[in-house]
């Protein structure tokens, strides 16, 4: 099997890579600062395989040649690998535990949160950030979020998550300051769920 990447058919990334990535990074920071509020990531208008525009925008902004990425079974496709490899220089890993950045296009089959890297007490920043693409932010069961970035509480209704997700999230939050962080994407929007946030079902 050839190691030379086939660049034919690879879709465009950001039109203006410097400006667009800076703006997208600011919007992702806003999502982390104002937890539970959707932020629009509008610079990538096309999908690649199963990945929608917000997922791709997050990848283009946060991914680089030093960021090991794990793809779930739905997103692990040659067109996705070629796109991220070409635009980000992405190195791919086979184990969710090894990933700095994980992409989940089918939440119903995603690994348990404990299977990702939660960081260490000395280096909590080495934990995995999981990008979880979902059908919507409004059609799922409502869950109350509390913590930094939320004035009182936020009611969020993420659709398409596995039944165990919120129970395991509570265990993840109890590990703070270690633990995984999650970025939910849907269409061209993103919601951040930092490890510091507690949930009540």
Pick out the chain residues at pLDDT < 50.
1-2
3-state SS string over 80-137? HHHHHHHHHCCCECCCHHHCCEEEECCHHHCCCHHHCCCCCCCCHHHCCEEEEECCCC
Go through the domains of the chain in sequence order and give each one's CATH number: 17-200 (3.40.50.11310)
> What is the structure's pLDDT at 42?
75
Residue 155 to residues 37, 80, 200, Cα–Cα distance (Å): 10, 33, 10
pLDDT tens digits, one per residue of 126-184? 999 999 999 999 999 999 999 999 999 999 999 999 999 999 999 999 999 999 999 99
Q: Give the number of C-alpha atoms closer than 13 A to the C-alpha of residue 138, restricted to the C-beta side.
A: 4
């Amino acid at each position: 099997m050839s190691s030379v990447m086939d660049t034919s058919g690879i879709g465009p990334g950001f039109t203006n890579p410097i400006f667009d990535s800076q703006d997208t990074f600011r919007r992702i920071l806003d999502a982390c600062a104002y937890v539970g509020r959707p932020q629009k990531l509008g610079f990538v208008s096309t999908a690649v395989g199963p990945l929608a525009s917000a997922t791709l925008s997050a990848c283009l902004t946060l991914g680089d040649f030093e960021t090991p990425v794990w793809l779930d079974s739905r997103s692990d496709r040659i067109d996705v690998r070629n796109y991220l490899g070409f635009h980000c220089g992405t190195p791919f890993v086979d184990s969710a535990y090894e990933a700095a950045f994980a992409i989940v296009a089918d939440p119903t089959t995603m690994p348990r949160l404990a299977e990702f890297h939660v960081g260490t007490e000395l280096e909590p920043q080495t934990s995995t950030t999981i990008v979880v693409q979902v059908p919507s932010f409004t059609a799922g069961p409502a869950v109350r979020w509390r913590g930094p970035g939320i004035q009182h509480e936020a009611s969020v209704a993420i659709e398409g998550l596995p039944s165990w997700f919120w129970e395991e999230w509570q265990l993840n939050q109890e590990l703070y300051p270690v633990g995984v962080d999650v970025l939910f994407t849907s269409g061209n929007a993103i919601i951040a769920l930092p490890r510091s946030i507690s949930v009540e079902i």
